[in-house]
Amino acid sequence: MEFIIGKYNYWIYICLMMIGFYAMIGKRNLVKKLIGMNIFQTSIILFFVSTGSKKGATIPIVEHGARAVEAVRYINPLPHVLMLTAIVVMVSTFGVALALLMMIYRRYHTLEEDEILGFRK
Amino acid sequence: MTSRFDDVIIQTVCRILIPFIQIFGLYVIAHGHSSPGGGFQGGVILGASFILLCLSYDIKEMKRRLSRKRAILFSALGVIIYAGIGLLCLLLDGNYLDYGRLHRILPVDPVRARSMGILGIEIGVGMTVMAVMVTIFIDLASEEEKRN
Amino acid sequence: MKLIALIAVSLTGAILIYGTADMPDWGDPGSPASLHVSPRYIEKSVEETQVPNIVTSVLADYRGYDTLGETTVIFTAGIACILLIRRFGR
């Protein structure tokens, strides 16, 4: 029971990640692949944020006027910083990927991978 | 974006709401020191307010407020502000991005100058994020308009 | 094809779930991620930068290079979008 309570968050993220992974390699539509990639990235962000949590600690904002700061009382700010940048990178990669898909559609008039590969033969 | 419909309720509500959203975005950027927030979050809120304007009115209305050229200019300006503050610290005998050195030109002590430098680069980051969100949206949306 | 994908996905998931047995428990204050450099950030942030929000001070001050590069990444993404979609001279 202790094992399940300690680890179930990782299992949830792994399930999410595998959903995204399946969409990336199993689906044939490029937009669905892109959505799968987004789910994958979201699961990684959730994983990183959860590694920074400490039981009984508060958000990493120091109370007003507090002089002595103990590290145990605030959760780890480092994963938050890294994921804050990762979220914005995720948005920009999504924008560039949509632009690329637009170019592909303009050229081949389809987004199905099989048909695009068939055209190129 | 092709078949635009004029809905009085949506347009009125958005017209009232958008200034408050933008004020909130500026607040999130400026108040990132002592509450959750910062350049990235505030920039995304500001960009979303422009996208809401486009969704409720028209892309022409949005381009009248923030044209493509100006959006690109803003995104470059944000990066220049960030790198320029770093360079300013270099010119003031410090390391690159060492904001403590800014106390030589600001009327505050070195520790406070660090906080001021952080505010400066948050503004730069917010500008870039807002402008890039708007740019990507304009490009993806106006392509559809041209096709039809 | 879908069957192969499903098999590969379940195999990867099983390996990853097996790997979580060595991970620290959720909310463990002594996990390796919270021991190395983050206590110093938490203890010294207010003293050194006068910014109560530690995330902001780490983002903009201690790891300023990281954020500078990342702002450049966003800018590059915007430029890439423009170059891909916009048709010049038509």
Contact assignment for C52 to A64 by CB distance below 8 Å: yes
Query: Domain total for chain A?
Result: 1
Contact assignment for C61 to B125 by CB distance below 8 Å: no
Please tell me the distance in Å from B112's CA to the nearest CA on chain A: 16
Residue in B35, B132, B139 closest to A92 by CB? B132
Q: What is the pLDDT of residues C5-53, one digit of tens each?
A: 999 999 999 999 999 988 888 888 888 888 888 888 888 888 888 888 8
Q: For residue A85, is pLDDT > 50? A: yes
Is residue C12 assigned to a domain? no
Residue B117 is encoded by which pair of tokens?
């430098």
Residues of B in contact with C86 (CB under 8 A): 139
Lowest-pLDDT range of A57-66, B12-21, B36-45, B86-95: A57-66
Is residue A65 assigned to a domain? no
Contact C54, C42 (CB under 8 A): yes
- Closest-CA residue in chain A for B129? A88
**Among the listed residues A66, A21, A27, A72, the one whose alpha carbon sits nearest the alpha carbon of residue A44:** A21
Maximum Cα–Cα distance across chain A: 70
Query: Domain total for chain C?
Result: 1
Is residue C15 assigned to a domain? no
CB atoms within 10 A of CB B38: 27
CA distance A109 to A104: 7
Residue in C67, C79, C86 closest to B125 by CB? C67
Segments forming the whole domain that contains residue A7 = 2-58+72-120
Q: What is the pLDDT of residues A11-49, one digit of tens each?
A: 999 999 999 999 999 999 999 999 999 999 999 999 999
Is residue C28 assigned to a domain? no
Residues of A in contact with C24 (CB under 8 A): 51
Is residue C11 assigned to a domain? no
Segments forming the whole domain that contains residue C43 = 36-90
| CATH number of the CATH domain containing A18 | 1.10.287.3510
**Among the listed residues A77, A16, A8, the one whose alpha carbon sits nearest the alpha carbon of residue A44:** A16
CA distance B118 to B33: 8
Is residue A63 assigned to a domain? no
CA distance B23 to B43: 12
Residue in B40, B136, B140 closest to A88 by CB? B40
Residues of C in contact with A50 (CB under 8 A): 26
Average pLDDT value for residue range C75-87: 88
Q: For residue C87, is pLDDT > 90? A: no
C52 interfacial to chain B (CB closer than 8 Å): yes
CB atoms within 10 A of CB B20: 10
Q: What is the pLDDT of residues B29-77, one digit of tens each?
A: 998 888 888 889 999 999 999 999 988 888 888 888 888 889 999 999 9
CA distance A54 to B129: 31
Contact assignment for B139 to C85 by CB distance below 8 Å: yes
Is residue C49 assigned to a domain? yes
